[in-house]
Amino acid sequence: MEHLPLFISIKHKPCLVVGGGVVAARKTRLLLARGGRVTVVAPELDAGLQARQAEFCWLEQGFAEHHLDGQFLVVAATDNAEVNARVYQLANRRGILVNKADDSKRSAVIFPSIVERFPLQIAFSTGGGAPWLARLLRAGLDALLPRHWGALARVAGRLRRQVQQAFASPAERRRFWARVQDDPALTALLQQQDESGAEAWLRREMDQPSRGEVILVGAGPGDPDLLTIKALNELQKAEVVLFDQLVSEEILALIRPEAELIAVGKKAGHHSVPQEQINRLLVEQALAGKRVVRLKGGDPFMFGRGAEELQSLKAAGIRYQVVPGITAAAGATAYAGIPLTHRDHAQSAVFITGHCKQDGAEPDWASLARGRQTLVIYMGLMRSAHIRQQLMQHGLDGATPVALIERGTTVRQKLVRGELRELAELAERVASPALMVIGEVAALADSLAWFRPHAAEAPPAVERCG
């Protein structure tokens, strides 16, 4: 990449635009918006330029070398390639910053795509090689960035010195901003354009004692693209992250590099860190004043013991938030082409865990064996023979379609199909983490599976038993 990204002030600086067409109009608007003193050299003006003629100096003539005298920045934007090349050569020879429109190889300066929430600006470029991609990125970032962040940046700028005085260390200041930036009260004031009210609210918050907080975050079923925007935001603000075994490396890579990572992984059949110790770690880190993210696969309230962790935080008087995630039952089945409900096959869906309670209590197998519903079983591989036996004993037909989805939504996804009577044999062909889907909708994977985890040209892999 030969261009160095810079933010350069052109306020009150002389800028020359050679050309009067649509491209020249676009460049002129950009220069005027940044405070440049713009001169346009062109025999004729585009209608858009004519409407703003009072804002710049128009020289109604063709380009000549003397037009470069005293210019800080020059844009060659005519529809004549020879004229543009001459402007570039002459300006480059004089050491003037020059942009040759739509020709990054002949430009000392290129205009990036910009997403703006004044005074916040994000600028990016593909070096002129893929402008369509730059437009796509711009649209995506524009949709992601909250509209009130510009007001937040302005208020933060005015309070910068007060924040530095209130919080001695950079870590304390970062913790303060992480705590307040998404507070509903502050967001409401900024969205209402009440910046003075926002300043007053922030001053009051500066006087509050420093305190830790825990954010319970659902990492989704595995595909990092399924992480919610709020979850990603929290990963970027975390000082400490306690994460489970099911959280993928791709998602861990999105965590702020300075954050401390603590593995508290759980696998089927054993817990490397007891739940009581996890609860204690959360309390200890929060009491130390840190912003803690508890990162759990799927959704933290779907067989994830999230409520137990919140109860320990509540008992210790620690603030907490919950960021939902896409649960495996929704994510993995969607990627496997299995609808949880279908008006011809299933009017309801039931989610259960394959783990027994400590007292050995069994679920209501009679209700689970009813027809025209979808049964989704988390963590059921180790008890597949028992599950098959109980469902068939309580009336569910052994020919009921079954699907097992291993590592759903990831590049290692594996889908195995068969019938309920084959469930134990199917379970031997997949590894944890895997999801069981039992019901007529499971058969739809044979025709509706769309996700190609291994190769774009290969058909979706649906293995059939037998």
| Positions marked catalytic | 244, 266
For residue 55, the tally of other CB atoms under 10 A from its CB is 11
Counting every residue written for the chain, the total comes to: 466
Contact predicate 355/247, CB 8 Å: no
Q: Which residues make beta-bridge pairs with 462? A: 415
Angle between helices 149-158 and 195-206 (to 10 degrees): 60
Give CA–CA dist 160/391, Å, rounded: 64
Both tokens of 389, joined, read 């036996």
122: left (phi over 0), alpha (psi -120 to 50) or beta: beta
Contact predicate 43/17, CB 8 Å: no
Handedness of CA 18, 20, 22, 26 (dihedral sign): positive
Angle between helices 195-206 and 184-191 (to 10 degrees): 160
Contact predicate 448/338, CB 8 Å: yes
Pairing of strands 73-76, 97-100: parallel
Residue 326, SS3 per DSSP: coil
Give CA–CA dist 447/99, Å, rounded: 53
Residue 421, CA atoms < 13 Å, CB-side half-sphere: 5
Angle ∠(135,140,145) on CA atoms, nearest 5? 125
Distances (CA, A) of 28 to 59, 60, 178: 14, 16, 39
Residue 397, CA atoms < 13 Å, CB-side half-sphere: 9
In 3D space, the residue among 289, 288, 322, 319 whose CA is nearest the CA of residue 305 turns out to be 322
